[in-house]
Amino acid sequence: MSEPENKVTRRGVLAGAAAGGAALAAGAAKAEGDPLITEVQPWAQGLGEGVDATPYGLPIEYESDVIRRNVEWLTADTISSINFTPIHALDGTITPQGCAFERHHSGAIELKKEDYRLMINGLVDRPLVFTYADLERFPRENHVYFCECAANTGMEWAGAQLNGAQFTHGMIHNMEYSGVSLRTLLNEAGLGAAGDLADKWVFVEGADASSNGRSIPMEKALDDVLVAFKANGEALRMEHGYPVRLVVPGWEGNMWVKWLRRIEVTDAPVESREETSKYTDVLADGTARKWTWVMDAKSVITSPSPQMPIPHGPGPMVITGMAWSGHGRITRVDVSKDGGKTWETARLGTQGDSKALTRFYLDIEWDGSEMFLQSRAMDETGYVQPTKTQLREVRGLNSIYHNNCIQTWWVKENGEAENVEVS
Ligand SMILES: Nc1nc2c(c(=O)[nH]1)N[C@H]1C(S)=C(S)[C@@H](COP(=O)(O)O)O[C@H]1N2
Ligand SMILES: [Mo]
Protein backbone atom coordinates (compact mmCIF):
# COMPACT_ATOMS: atom_id res chain seq x y z
CA MET A 1 0.00 0.00 0.00
CA SER A 2 1.26 3.46 -0.78
CA GLU A 3 0.41 5.71 2.11
CA PRO A 4 0.86 9.41 1.50
CA GLU A 5 2.33 11.49 4.26
CA ASN A 6 -0.18 12.20 7.00
CA LYS A 7 -0.47 15.96 7.11
CA VAL A 8 -3.29 15.94 9.62
CA THR A 9 -2.69 17.74 12.88
CA ARG A 10 -6.18 17.52 14.39
CA ARG A 11 -5.71 13.89 15.36
CA GLY A 12 -5.33 14.52 19.09
CA VAL A 13 -8.24 16.91 19.30
CA LEU A 14 -10.63 14.64 17.49
CA ALA A 15 -9.48 11.54 19.30
CA GLY A 16 -10.25 13.28 22.60
CA ALA A 17 -13.73 14.21 21.45
CA ALA A 18 -14.27 10.71 20.18
CA ALA A 19 -13.42 9.17 23.53
CA GLY A 20 -16.14 11.23 25.20
CA GLY A 21 -18.71 10.38 22.57
CA ALA A 22 -17.98 6.69 22.48
CA ALA A 23 -19.71 6.07 25.79
CA LEU A 24 -23.04 7.10 24.28
CA ALA A 25 -25.13 5.01 21.99
CA ALA A 26 -25.54 6.61 18.57
CA GLY A 27 -28.18 9.32 18.68
CA ALA A 28 -28.52 9.34 22.46
CA ALA A 29 -27.79 12.88 23.65
CA LYS A 30 -28.53 13.81 27.28
CA ALA A 31 -31.48 16.08 28.14
CA GLU A 32 -30.05 17.19 31.47
CA GLY A 33 -28.09 20.43 31.22
CA ASP A 34 -28.80 20.85 27.51
CA PRO A 35 -30.45 24.26 26.97
CA LEU A 36 -31.68 23.10 23.57
CA ILE A 37 -33.94 20.72 25.49
CA THR A 38 -34.58 22.58 28.74
CA GLU A 39 -35.14 26.16 27.48
CA VAL A 40 -37.64 27.64 25.01
CA GLN A 41 -35.55 28.65 22.03
CA PRO A 42 -35.82 31.94 20.04
CA TRP A 43 -37.41 30.19 17.04
CA ALA A 44 -40.31 29.10 19.25
CA GLN A 45 -40.81 32.53 20.84
CA GLY A 46 -41.91 34.44 17.74
CA LEU A 47 -43.29 33.89 14.30
CA GLY A 48 -41.56 32.50 11.27
CA GLU A 49 -41.55 33.83 7.71
CA GLY A 50 -44.82 34.22 5.81
CA VAL A 51 -45.59 32.14 2.72
CA ASP A 52 -44.95 35.14 0.49
CA ALA A 53 -41.35 35.52 1.67
CA THR A 54 -39.89 32.99 -0.78
CA PRO A 55 -41.75 32.58 -4.08
CA TYR A 56 -39.01 30.22 -5.26
CA GLY A 57 -36.92 28.67 -2.54
CA LEU A 58 -33.21 28.11 -2.18
CA PRO A 59 -31.54 25.83 0.38
CA ILE A 60 -31.31 27.27 3.90
CA GLU A 61 -28.13 29.30 4.56
CA TYR A 62 -26.68 26.54 6.76
CA GLU A 63 -26.34 24.37 3.66
CA SER A 64 -24.41 27.02 1.75
CA ASP A 65 -21.38 24.77 1.30
CA VAL A 66 -23.38 22.21 -0.68
CA ILE A 67 -22.60 23.81 -4.02
CA ARG A 68 -21.03 23.12 -7.38
CA ARG A 69 -17.31 23.76 -7.28
CA ASN A 70 -14.67 23.92 -9.97
CA VAL A 71 -10.96 23.17 -9.99
CA GLU A 72 -9.28 26.37 -11.09
CA TRP A 73 -6.18 24.93 -12.75
CA LEU A 74 -8.19 22.41 -14.76
CA THR A 75 -9.31 24.74 -17.55
CA ALA A 76 -7.98 28.03 -18.92
CA ASP A 77 -11.23 29.90 -18.32
CA THR A 78 -14.73 29.31 -16.95
CA ILE A 79 -16.43 29.43 -20.38
CA SER A 80 -15.10 26.19 -21.85
CA SER A 81 -15.02 24.51 -18.49
CA ILE A 82 -16.63 22.21 -15.97
CA ASN A 83 -17.79 22.25 -12.40
CA PHE A 84 -18.66 19.38 -10.09
CA THR A 85 -21.77 18.13 -8.30
CA PRO A 86 -21.35 18.08 -4.47
CA ILE A 87 -22.05 14.33 -4.45
CA HIS A 88 -20.31 13.97 -1.07
CA ALA A 89 -23.14 15.92 0.60
CA LEU A 90 -26.14 14.47 -1.25
CA ASP A 91 -28.15 11.37 -0.43
CA GLY A 92 -30.80 9.37 -2.26
CA THR A 93 -30.41 9.41 -6.03
CA ILE A 94 -31.94 12.54 -7.55
CA THR A 95 -29.59 15.47 -8.19
CA PRO A 96 -31.21 18.87 -7.65
CA GLN A 97 -30.66 20.96 -10.80
CA GLY A 98 -29.25 23.84 -8.76
CA CYS A 99 -26.12 21.86 -7.85
CA ALA A 100 -25.86 19.49 -10.82
CA PHE A 101 -22.49 19.74 -12.61
CA GLU A 102 -22.22 21.87 -15.73
CA ARG A 103 -20.03 21.33 -18.75
CA HIS A 104 -19.99 23.96 -21.47
CA HIS A 105 -17.77 24.36 -24.52
CA SER A 106 -18.76 27.95 -25.20
CA GLY A 107 -20.70 29.00 -22.14
CA ALA A 108 -24.34 28.56 -21.11
CA ILE A 109 -26.66 30.46 -23.44
CA GLU A 110 -29.97 32.20 -22.79
CA LEU A 111 -32.53 30.97 -25.31
CA LYS A 112 -36.23 31.89 -25.02
CA LYS A 113 -38.90 29.28 -25.72
CA GLU A 114 -40.37 31.63 -28.35
CA ASP A 115 -37.02 31.75 -30.16
CA TYR A 116 -36.56 27.99 -29.98
CA ARG A 117 -36.58 25.92 -33.18
CA LEU A 118 -35.68 22.27 -33.72
CA MET A 119 -34.95 21.16 -37.30
CA ILE A 120 -34.99 17.56 -38.50
CA ASN A 121 -33.43 17.20 -41.95
CA GLY A 122 -31.20 14.95 -44.04
CA LEU A 123 -32.47 11.53 -45.19
CA VAL A 124 -36.08 12.07 -44.12
CA ASP A 125 -39.33 12.11 -46.09
CA ARG A 126 -40.36 15.57 -44.81
CA PRO A 127 -37.76 17.92 -43.35
CA LEU A 128 -39.46 19.58 -40.36
CA VAL A 129 -38.97 22.50 -38.04
CA PHE A 130 -40.63 22.31 -34.60
CA THR A 131 -41.35 25.17 -32.25
CA TYR A 132 -41.29 24.56 -28.49
CA ALA A 133 -45.11 24.57 -28.51
CA ASP A 134 -45.09 21.91 -31.26
CA LEU A 135 -42.94 19.60 -29.13
CA GLU A 136 -45.38 19.87 -26.24
CA ARG A 137 -48.13 18.30 -28.39
CA PHE A 138 -46.40 14.92 -28.81
CA PRO A 139 -46.95 12.05 -26.34
CA ARG A 140 -44.65 12.55 -23.36
CA GLU A 141 -42.54 10.16 -21.24
CA ASN A 142 -40.80 10.36 -17.86
CA HIS A 143 -37.53 8.56 -17.06
CA VAL A 144 -34.73 8.88 -14.51
CA TYR A 145 -31.24 8.69 -16.00
CA PHE A 146 -27.70 9.53 -14.95
CA CYS A 147 -25.59 11.83 -17.13
CA GLU A 148 -21.85 11.31 -16.67
CA CYS A 149 -19.18 13.27 -18.51
CA ALA A 150 -16.69 10.83 -20.06
CA ALA A 151 -13.96 12.89 -18.36
CA ASN A 152 -15.31 12.07 -14.87
CA THR A 153 -12.40 10.64 -12.80
CA GLY A 154 -10.15 11.53 -15.75
CA MET A 155 -7.60 13.30 -13.56
CA GLU A 156 -7.02 10.10 -11.58
CA TRP A 157 -5.46 7.94 -14.31
CA ALA A 158 -1.86 8.70 -13.38
CA GLY A 159 -2.32 8.60 -9.62
CA ALA A 160 -4.58 9.70 -6.77
CA GLN A 161 -4.92 13.42 -7.31
CA LEU A 162 -8.03 15.33 -6.27
CA ASN A 163 -9.01 15.18 -2.63
CA GLY A 164 -12.77 14.83 -2.62
CA ALA A 165 -15.51 12.70 -4.16
CA GLN A 166 -16.97 15.92 -5.58
CA PHE A 167 -13.81 16.39 -7.65
CA THR A 168 -12.95 12.79 -8.49
CA HIS A 169 -16.52 11.68 -9.31
CA GLY A 170 -18.73 14.78 -9.42
CA MET A 171 -19.12 15.09 -13.21
CA ILE A 172 -22.40 13.23 -12.87
CA HIS A 173 -26.02 14.04 -12.23
CA ASN A 174 -29.20 11.98 -12.11
CA MET A 175 -32.55 13.53 -12.93
CA GLU A 176 -36.08 12.64 -13.88
CA TYR A 177 -36.64 13.87 -17.44
CA SER A 178 -39.92 14.63 -19.15
CA GLY A 179 -39.98 14.85 -22.90
CA VAL A 180 -40.76 13.24 -26.22
CA SER A 181 -38.96 10.17 -27.52
CA LEU A 182 -36.65 10.95 -30.44
CA ARG A 183 -38.25 7.99 -32.23
CA THR A 184 -41.58 9.84 -32.26
CA LEU A 185 -40.05 12.93 -33.87
CA LEU A 186 -38.03 10.94 -36.42
CA ASN A 187 -41.18 9.05 -37.42
CA GLU A 188 -43.00 12.34 -37.79
CA ALA A 189 -40.35 13.39 -40.34
CA GLY A 190 -40.54 9.93 -41.92
CA LEU A 191 -37.57 7.55 -42.25
CA GLY A 192 -38.65 5.98 -45.56
CA ALA A 193 -36.13 8.10 -47.45
CA ALA A 194 -33.35 6.69 -45.29
CA GLY A 195 -33.82 3.16 -46.69
CA ASP A 196 -32.12 0.45 -44.61
CA LEU A 197 -31.88 1.97 -41.11
CA ALA A 198 -29.19 -0.46 -39.90
CA ASP A 199 -26.32 1.67 -41.22
CA LYS A 200 -27.85 5.12 -40.72
CA TRP A 201 -26.90 7.76 -38.15
CA VAL A 202 -28.28 10.97 -36.74
CA PHE A 203 -26.05 14.01 -36.27
CA VAL A 204 -27.25 16.14 -33.36
CA GLU A 205 -26.15 19.68 -32.59
CA GLY A 206 -26.89 22.52 -30.19
CA ALA A 207 -27.69 26.21 -30.66
CA ASP A 208 -24.63 27.46 -28.75
CA ALA A 209 -21.50 28.67 -30.57
CA SER A 210 -19.71 25.34 -29.97
CA SER A 211 -22.73 23.40 -31.33
CA ASN A 212 -21.19 20.30 -29.75
CA GLY A 213 -22.17 18.12 -32.74
CA ARG A 214 -22.22 14.35 -32.28
CA SER A 215 -23.13 11.34 -34.42
CA ILE A 216 -25.45 8.75 -32.91
CA PRO A 217 -26.19 5.39 -34.58
CA MET A 218 -29.82 5.10 -35.70
CA GLU A 219 -30.35 2.01 -33.54
CA LYS A 220 -29.76 4.08 -30.38
CA ALA A 221 -31.72 7.06 -31.77
CA LEU A 222 -34.77 4.82 -32.18
CA ASP A 223 -34.27 3.08 -28.84
CA ASP A 224 -34.43 5.22 -25.68
CA VAL A 225 -33.17 8.72 -26.62
CA LEU A 226 -35.38 11.53 -25.30
CA VAL A 227 -35.89 15.11 -26.44
CA ALA A 228 -36.38 16.50 -22.93
CA PHE A 229 -37.75 19.81 -21.70
CA LYS A 230 -38.28 19.18 -18.00
CA ALA A 231 -35.89 17.88 -15.34
CA ASN A 232 -37.03 16.88 -11.85
CA GLY A 233 -40.48 18.24 -12.70
CA GLU A 234 -39.51 21.78 -13.67
CA ALA A 235 -38.12 23.47 -16.76
CA LEU A 236 -34.50 22.67 -17.54
CA ARG A 237 -32.17 25.23 -16.03
CA MET A 238 -30.35 27.42 -18.53
CA GLU A 239 -27.07 25.66 -17.80
CA HIS A 240 -28.58 22.25 -18.58
CA GLY A 241 -29.89 23.29 -22.00
CA TYR A 242 -33.10 25.29 -21.57
CA PRO A 243 -35.51 24.94 -23.18
CA VAL A 244 -34.67 21.53 -24.77
CA ARG A 245 -31.84 19.03 -24.45
CA LEU A 246 -31.12 15.56 -25.72
CA VAL A 247 -31.02 12.71 -23.18
CA VAL A 248 -28.96 9.74 -24.37
CA PRO A 249 -29.41 7.13 -21.59
CA GLY A 250 -26.28 5.34 -20.42
CA TRP A 251 -24.06 7.08 -23.00
CA GLU A 252 -21.33 9.66 -22.36
CA GLY A 253 -22.52 13.12 -21.33
CA ASN A 254 -21.00 14.79 -24.39
CA MET A 255 -23.75 13.26 -26.56
CA TRP A 256 -26.48 14.84 -24.40
CA VAL A 257 -26.67 17.91 -26.61
CA LYS A 258 -28.03 20.99 -24.83
CA TRP A 259 -30.06 23.76 -26.51
CA LEU A 260 -30.80 21.10 -29.15
CA ARG A 261 -31.39 22.76 -32.51
CA ARG A 262 -30.85 20.24 -35.32
CA ILE A 263 -31.05 16.51 -35.97
CA GLU A 264 -29.80 15.35 -39.36
CA VAL A 265 -30.35 11.81 -40.60
CA THR A 266 -27.12 10.74 -42.35
CA ASP A 267 -25.65 7.65 -43.99
CA ALA A 268 -22.35 7.97 -42.13
CA PRO A 269 -21.01 9.46 -38.91
CA VAL A 270 -19.83 13.05 -39.28
CA GLU A 271 -16.53 12.43 -37.40
CA SER A 272 -16.84 15.77 -35.60
CA ARG A 273 -14.25 17.23 -33.26
CA GLU A 274 -16.09 15.88 -30.23
CA GLU A 275 -15.88 12.28 -31.50
CA THR A 276 -12.36 12.25 -32.95
CA SER A 277 -9.81 14.51 -31.26
CA LYS A 278 -11.94 14.53 -28.08
CA TYR A 279 -13.78 11.79 -26.19
CA THR A 280 -11.59 9.04 -27.67
CA ASP A 281 -9.08 7.05 -25.62
CA VAL A 282 -5.44 6.85 -26.74
CA LEU A 283 -4.06 3.42 -25.83
CA ALA A 284 -0.48 2.51 -24.87
CA ASP A 285 0.47 1.72 -28.49
CA GLY A 286 -0.78 5.12 -29.70
CA THR A 287 -3.95 3.83 -31.39
CA ALA A 288 -7.25 5.26 -30.17
CA ARG A 289 -10.44 3.62 -28.94
CA LYS A 290 -13.35 5.30 -30.71
CA TRP A 291 -17.14 5.10 -30.41
CA THR A 292 -16.83 4.41 -26.70
CA TRP A 293 -20.33 5.64 -26.03
CA VAL A 294 -21.57 3.50 -23.15
CA MET A 295 -20.47 4.44 -19.64
CA ASP A 296 -19.41 1.19 -17.93
CA ALA A 297 -20.50 0.28 -14.40
CA LYS A 298 -18.92 2.45 -11.72
CA SER A 299 -19.41 3.40 -8.08
CA VAL A 300 -17.92 5.61 -5.40
CA ILE A 301 -18.29 5.95 -1.65
CA THR A 302 -19.51 9.49 -1.01
CA SER A 303 -19.35 9.36 2.80
CA PRO A 304 -17.01 9.02 4.50
CA SER A 305 -14.73 10.70 1.96
CA PRO A 306 -12.19 13.55 2.07
CA GLN A 307 -14.90 16.24 2.29
CA MET A 308 -16.98 14.10 4.68
CA PRO A 309 -14.76 12.98 7.56
CA ILE A 310 -16.32 10.74 10.22
CA PRO A 311 -17.54 13.27 12.82
CA HIS A 312 -17.66 10.81 15.74
CA GLY A 313 -15.68 8.10 17.44
CA PRO A 314 -16.02 4.31 17.26
CA GLY A 315 -19.49 2.80 17.13
CA PRO A 316 -22.34 2.63 14.65
CA MET A 317 -21.83 4.46 11.40
CA VAL A 318 -23.18 4.59 7.87
CA ILE A 319 -21.00 4.10 4.83
CA THR A 320 -22.83 5.27 1.72
CA GLY A 321 -22.26 5.88 -1.94
CA MET A 322 -23.71 5.60 -5.39
CA ALA A 323 -23.40 3.19 -8.30
CA TRP A 324 -24.46 3.36 -11.94
CA SER A 325 -24.11 1.54 -15.23
CA GLY A 326 -24.77 2.63 -18.80
CA HIS A 327 -25.58 -0.99 -19.63
CA GLY A 328 -28.62 -1.31 -17.38
CA ARG A 329 -29.44 -1.90 -13.72
CA ILE A 330 -27.01 -2.10 -10.84
CA THR A 331 -27.55 -5.50 -9.25
CA ARG A 332 -24.98 -5.48 -6.45
CA VAL A 333 -22.41 -3.27 -4.76
CA ASP A 334 -19.66 -4.62 -2.51
CA VAL A 335 -17.71 -2.54 -0.02
CA SER A 336 -14.20 -3.27 1.24
CA LYS A 337 -12.67 -1.74 4.35
CA ASP A 338 -9.21 -3.19 3.73
CA GLY A 339 -8.33 -1.97 0.26
CA GLY A 340 -9.96 -4.83 -1.61
CA LYS A 341 -8.74 -7.85 0.36
CA THR A 342 -12.18 -8.69 1.75
CA TRP A 343 -15.62 -7.53 0.64
CA GLU A 344 -19.09 -7.19 2.16
CA THR A 345 -22.25 -6.79 0.09
CA ALA A 346 -23.89 -3.41 0.62
CA ARG A 347 -27.62 -2.77 0.97
CA LEU A 348 -29.17 -1.03 -2.02
CA GLY A 349 -31.20 1.96 -0.85
CA THR A 350 -33.12 1.94 -4.09
CA GLN A 351 -33.52 -0.93 -6.49
CA GLY A 352 -31.88 1.10 -9.21
CA ASP A 353 -33.63 1.93 -12.43
CA SER A 354 -31.82 1.01 -15.62
CA LYS A 355 -29.13 3.61 -16.49
CA ALA A 356 -29.89 5.59 -13.32
CA LEU A 357 -28.06 6.07 -10.03
CA THR A 358 -28.46 3.46 -7.30
CA ARG A 359 -27.77 4.47 -3.69
CA PHE A 360 -26.02 1.92 -1.45
CA TYR A 361 -25.41 1.71 2.29
CA LEU A 362 -23.21 -0.40 4.52
CA ASP A 363 -24.14 0.00 8.18
CA ILE A 364 -21.11 -0.89 10.29
CA GLU A 365 -19.84 -0.87 13.83
CA TRP A 366 -16.61 1.12 13.37
CA ASP A 367 -13.84 -0.01 15.70
CA GLY A 368 -11.97 3.27 15.27
CA SER A 369 -9.11 1.82 13.24
CA GLU A 370 -8.03 3.08 9.82
CA MET A 371 -9.85 1.79 6.76
CA PHE A 372 -9.02 1.64 3.07
CA LEU A 373 -12.58 2.02 1.80
CA GLN A 374 -13.55 0.86 -1.67
CA SER A 375 -16.78 0.09 -3.48
CA ARG A 376 -17.26 -2.25 -6.43
CA ALA A 377 -20.38 -2.16 -8.61
CA MET A 378 -21.90 -4.98 -10.62
CA ASP A 379 -24.58 -4.58 -13.28
CA GLU A 380 -27.21 -6.82 -14.82
CA THR A 381 -24.85 -7.90 -17.62
CA GLY A 382 -22.58 -9.50 -15.00
CA TYR A 383 -19.90 -6.82 -15.50
CA VAL A 384 -17.79 -6.08 -12.41
CA GLN A 385 -16.19 -2.64 -11.88
CA PRO A 386 -12.41 -3.05 -12.42
CA THR A 387 -9.52 -2.01 -10.20
CA LYS A 388 -7.26 0.82 -11.36
CA THR A 389 -4.51 -1.72 -12.03
CA GLN A 390 -6.79 -3.84 -14.22
CA LEU A 391 -7.94 -0.80 -16.15
CA ARG A 392 -4.38 0.44 -16.71
CA GLU A 393 -3.38 -3.01 -17.99
CA VAL A 394 -5.82 -2.77 -20.89
CA ARG A 395 -5.91 0.99 -21.44
CA GLY A 396 -2.40 2.17 -20.58
CA LEU A 397 -1.73 5.61 -19.14
CA ASN A 398 -2.53 7.94 -22.05
CA SER A 399 -6.25 8.09 -21.37
CA ILE A 400 -8.30 10.91 -19.95
CA TYR A 401 -11.81 9.62 -20.54
CA HIS A 402 -13.76 6.56 -19.40
CA ASN A 403 -12.03 5.88 -16.09
CA ASN A 404 -14.48 3.69 -14.16
CA CYS A 405 -11.96 2.14 -11.77
CA ILE A 406 -12.50 1.32 -8.10
CA GLN A 407 -11.75 4.34 -5.87
CA THR A 408 -9.91 4.10 -2.53
CA TRP A 409 -10.37 6.45 0.44
CA TRP A 410 -7.86 6.09 3.26
CA VAL A 411 -9.95 6.78 6.36
CA LYS A 412 -7.69 7.50 9.30
CA GLU A 413 -8.26 6.87 13.00
CA ASN A 414 -9.22 10.53 13.47
CA GLY A 415 -11.99 10.09 10.92
CA GLU A 416 -10.40 12.14 8.17
CA ALA A 417 -10.16 10.64 4.70
CA GLU A 418 -7.72 10.98 1.85
CA ASN A 419 -7.64 9.98 -1.82
CA VAL A 420 -5.04 7.20 -2.20
CA GLU A 421 -4.18 4.23 -4.39
CA VAL A 422 -3.59 0.72 -3.18
CA SER A 423 -1.66 -1.89 -5.12
N1 LIG B 1 -24.83 22.33 -26.95
C2 LIG B 1 -23.99 21.78 -26.07
N3 LIG B 1 -24.32 20.59 -25.54
C4 LIG B 1 -23.51 19.98 -24.65
C5 LIG B 1 -22.29 20.58 -24.24
C6 LIG B 1 -21.98 21.87 -24.80
O7 LIG B 1 -20.96 22.48 -24.48
N8 LIG B 1 -22.86 22.43 -25.70
N9 LIG B 1 -21.46 19.90 -23.37
C10 LIG B 1 -21.61 18.44 -23.36
C11 LIG B 1 -20.86 17.75 -22.33
S12 LIG B 1 -19.21 17.47 -22.64
C13 LIG B 1 -21.48 17.18 -21.23
S14 LIG B 1 -20.62 16.24 -20.14
C15 LIG B 1 -22.90 17.44 -20.94
C16 LIG B 1 -23.04 18.09 -19.57
O17 LIG B 1 -24.38 18.40 -19.30
P18 LIG B 1 -24.71 19.40 -18.09
O19 LIG B 1 -23.99 20.69 -18.34
O20 LIG B 1 -26.18 19.49 -18.04
O21 LIG B 1 -24.16 18.74 -16.85
O22 LIG B 1 -23.51 18.27 -21.90
C23 LIG B 1 -23.07 18.04 -23.23
N24 LIG B 1 -23.89 18.79 -24.13
MO1 LIG C 1 -18.42 15.86 -21.13
* CATH number of residue 110's parent domain: 3.90.420.10
**Partners of 148 in the beta sheet?**
172
Q: How confident is the model at residue 103 (pLDDT cuts 50, 70, 90)?
A: very high
Residues with CB under 5 A from ligand 2 (ion): 103, 149, 253-254
Q: How confident is the model at residue 27 (pLDDT cuts 50, 70, 90)?
A: low
Predicted pLDDT of residue 147: 99
Q: How confident is the model at residue 166 (pLDDT cuts 50, 70, 90)?
A: very high
Predicted pLDDT of residue 30: 80
How many structural domains is the chain composed of?
2
Three-state helix/strand/coil letters over 34-57: CHHHHCCCHHHCCCCCCCCCCCCC
Q: Whose CA is nearest to atom 20 of ligand 1?
A: 240
Ligand 1 and 102: CB distance under 6 A: yes
- Give the closest ligand to the alpha carbon of residue 151: 2
Mean pLDDT of 407-414: 98
Ligand 1 and 149: CB distance under 6 A: yes
Predicted pLDDT of residue 14: 37
The answer to whether 318 and 361 have CB atoms below 8 angstroms apart is yes
Predicted pLDDT of residue 25: 60
Q: Is residue 120 part of a domain?
A: yes
- Give the closest ligand to the alpha carbon of residue 83: 1
- 268 and 345 assigned to the same domain: no
- 283 and 145 assigned to the same domain: yes
Kindly tell me if the per-residue pLDDT of 101 is higher than 70: yes
Q: How confident is the model at residue 26 (pLDDT cuts 50, 70, 90)?
A: low
Concatenated DSSP letters of 63-106: GTT-S-B--GGGSSSSSSEE-B--GGG--SSPPPGGGS--EESS
Kindly tell me if the per-residue pLDDT of 23 is higher than 80: no
Q: Is residue 31 part of a domain?
A: no
Q: What is the pLDDT of residues 295-311, one digit of tens each?
A: 999 999 999 999 999 99
Kindly tell me if the per-residue pLDDT of 106 is higher than 50: yes
Kindly tell me if the per-residue pLDDT of 63 is higher than 90: yes
Mean pLDDT of 124-145: 98
Q: Is residue 4 part of a domain?
A: no
Q: Is residue 122 part of a domain?
A: yes
Largest CA distance in the chain: 80
- 360 and 215 assigned to the same domain: no
How close are the terminal C-alpha atoms of the chain, in Å?
Answer: 6
- Give the closest ligand to the alpha carbon of residue 242: 1
Predicted pLDDT of residue 17: 40
- 236 and 150 assigned to the same domain: yes
The answer to whether 417 and 304 have CB atoms below 8 angstroms apart is yes
Ligand 1 and 337: CB distance under 6 A: no
Mean pLDDT of 130-154: 98
Report the distance separating Cα 348 and Cα 352, nearest Å: 8
The answer to whether 306 and 165 have CB atoms below 8 angstroms apart is yes
- 239 and 317 assigned to the same domain: no
Q: How confident is the model at residue 32 (pLDDT cuts 50, 70, 90)?
A: confident
CATH of the domain at 350: 2.60.40.650
Predicted pLDDT of residue 28: 73
- 132 and 253 assigned to the same domain: yes
Q: How confident is the model at residue 131 (pLDDT cuts 50, 70, 90)?
A: very high
Ligand 1 and 257: CB distance under 6 A: yes
- 240 and 368 assigned to the same domain: no
Q: Is residue 96 part of a domain?
A: yes
Report the distance separating Cα 143 and Cα 77, nearest Å: 34
Domain hosting residue 85, numbered range:
79-288
The answer to whether 124 and 189 have CB atoms below 8 angstroms apart is yes
Q: Are strands 245-247 and 226-231 parallel, antiparallel or unpaired?
A: antiparallel
Q: What is the pLDDT of residues 173-194, one digit of tens each?
A: 999 999 999 999 999 999 999 9
Q: What is the pLDDT of residues 228-283, one digit of tens each?
A: 999 999 999 999 999 999 999 999 999 999 999 999 999 999 999 999 999 999 99
Q: Whose CA is nearest to atom 23 of ligand 1?
A: 254
Q: Is residue 211 part of a domain?
A: yes
Ligand 1 and 104: CB distance under 6 A: yes
Kindly tell me if the per-residue pLDDT of 24 is higher than 70: no
The letter for the amino acid at 172 is I
Mean pLDDT of 394-407: 94
Element (DSSP H or E) covering residue 185: helix 182-189
- 318 and 341 assigned to the same domain: yes
Task: Please say which residue of 235, 268, 288 terminates a domain.
Answer: 288
Kindly tell me if the per-residue pLDDT of 345 is higher than 90: yes
Share of the chain above pLDDT 90, in %: 88
- 198 and 284 assigned to the same domain: yes
Least confident of 27-31, 50-54, 132-136: 27-31
Ligand 1 and 258: CB distance under 6 A: yes
Q: How far is the CA of 409 from the centre of ligand 2 (A)?
A: 25
Concatenated DSSP letters of 245-263: EEE-TTB-GGGS-SSEEEE
- 319 and 277 assigned to the same domain: no
The answer to whether 182 and 130 have CB atoms below 8 angstroms apart is no
Ligand 1 and 275: CB distance under 6 A: no
- 182 and 274 assigned to the same domain: yes
Q: Is residue 39 part of a domain?
A: no
Task: Please say which residue of 288, 308, 323 terminates a domain.
Answer: 288
Q: Is residue 46 part of a domain?
A: no
The letter for the amino acid at 352 is G
Q: What is the pLDDT of residues 88-98, one digit of tens each?
A: 999 999 999 99
**Partners of 278 in the beta sheet?**
none
Query: In whole numbers, what is the pLDDT of the chain averaged over residues?
Result: 93
Ligand 1 and 256: CB distance under 6 A: yes
Task: Please say which residue of 268, 288, 308 terminates a domain.
Answer: 288
Predicted pLDDT of residue 21: 44
Q: How confident is the model at residue 15 (pLDDT cuts 50, 70, 90)?
A: very low
- 239 and 322 assigned to the same domain: no
